[in-house]
């Protein structure tokens, strides 16, 4: 591998804070190796704080051998404002999880989290069509997943988050784009969900609270995660202990990987 890295190698990145838990570099470089493209491209972790992120993005425009990057927490929403151009899906969601650098230095952003999540579920044999779904989160990934669930025909969508204003804003945007869909922000005692999704960062740290309250898990058939590391989060452990079907965050990333590399020009 080292011998294949030359002065012509294009650098791809994973930008996050923290980044130590990221599986994307290993998965991407393995795919590049399988395709005979490792050396033409290589993916590296890039730990950048929220405070330094705007300046870092400016620097990427000047880095001529930079091909693109996967953008992870906490930068997805800010990246949408800093990119020079957004794909229609990124504009709709208001967040970016992949950027590429064009030859003129312009940065183009897209959002693949939603389609990746739905594809990951489908690959495990679960469909969101006609499903009643609970989505916890209102950030970039949650927004992308909300629009993808609506696009793929879920029957109803209940969105929860610790920040009421963000939940209200996301709910209104989804209703505006999909007026036929029942979108709520309230949970009732009789509520039942075919699928419950954690699209927050809760679960990455050992002392995080459960993103879905213990009693509410009993009202859900399948509990799904977006957190990748640890793969078995406390939420999934609790849901499994209650006899629920669980779905880790890894299939969401795996389903996106080919799309991410293609967008960054590493076909």
The model's pLDDT over 48-82, given as tens digits with 9 standing for 90+, comes to 999 999 999 999 999 999 999 999 999 999 999 99
pLDDT band for 253, please (50, 70, 90 cuts): very high
pLDDT average, residue stretch 239-244: 98
Q: Residue 121's pLDDT is what?
A: 97
| pLDDT on residue 2 | 56
pLDDT tens, position by position, 119-156: 999 999 999 999 999 999 999 999 999 999 999 999 99
* pLDDT tier, 267 (very low <50, low <70, confident <90, very high otherwise): confident
- Per-residue pLDDT at 74: 92
76 is catalytic: yes
The structure tokens 């389903």 sit at 255
Retrieve residue 206's tokens.
Answer: 């050992």
Domains of the chain: 2-111 (3.40.50.10860), 114-252 (3.40.50.720)
pLDDT tens-digit profile of 171-189?
999 999 999 999 999 998 7
Averaged pLDDT score across all residues of the chain: 95
| Among candidate residues 194, 191, 200, the one with its CA nearest the CA of residue 160 | 200
Determine which one of 76, 151, 205, 244 is catalytic: 76
Q: Cβ neighbours of residue 266 under 8 Å, at least 6 residues apart?
A: 10, 12, 32, 37, 40, 41, 67, 68
Residue 183: what pLDDT?
98
**The predicted structure's pLDDT at residue 4:** 85
d(CA 148, CA 119): 10
Q: What per-residue confidence (pLDDT) applies to 1?
A: 53
- For 196-223, how does the pLDDT look when each residue is reduced to its tens digit (9 = 90+)? 999 999 999 889 999 999 999 999 999 9
Would you say residue 3 has pLDDT above 80?
A: no
């Amino acid at each position: 591998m080292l011998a294949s890295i030359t002065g012509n190698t294009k650098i791809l990145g994973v930008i996050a804070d923290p980044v130590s838990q990221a599986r994307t570099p290993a998965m991407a470089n393995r795919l590049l190796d399988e395709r005979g493209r490792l050396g033409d491209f290589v993916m590296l972790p890039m730990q950048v704080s929220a405070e330094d992120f705007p300046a870092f993005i400016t620097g990427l425009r000047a880095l001529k051998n930079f091909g693109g990057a996967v953008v992870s927490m906490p930068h997805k929403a800010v990246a949408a404002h800093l990119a020079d151009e957004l794909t229609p899906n990124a504009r709709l969601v208001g967040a970016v999880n992949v950027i590429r650098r064009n030859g003129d230095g312009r940065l183009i952003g897209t959002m693949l989290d939603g389609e990746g999540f739905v594809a990951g579920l489908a690959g495990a044999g679960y469909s969101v069509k006609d499903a009643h779904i609970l989505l916890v989160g209102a950030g970039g990934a949650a927004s992308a997943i909300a629009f993808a669930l609506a696009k793929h025909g879920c029957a109803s969508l209940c969105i929860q988050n610790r920040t009421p204003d963000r939940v209200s804003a996301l709910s209104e945007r989804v209703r505006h784009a999909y007026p036929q869909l029942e979108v709520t922000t309230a949970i009732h005692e009789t509520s039942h969900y075919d699928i419950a999704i954690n699209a927050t960062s809760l679960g990455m740290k050992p002392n995080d609270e459960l993103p879905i309250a213990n009693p509410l898990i009993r009202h859900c058939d399948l509990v799904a995660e977006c957190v990748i590391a640890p793969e078995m989060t406390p939420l999934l452990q609790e849901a499994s202990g209650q006899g629920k079907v669980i779905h880790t965050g890894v299939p969401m990333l795996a389903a996106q990987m080919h799309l991410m590399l293609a967008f960054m020009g590493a076909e």
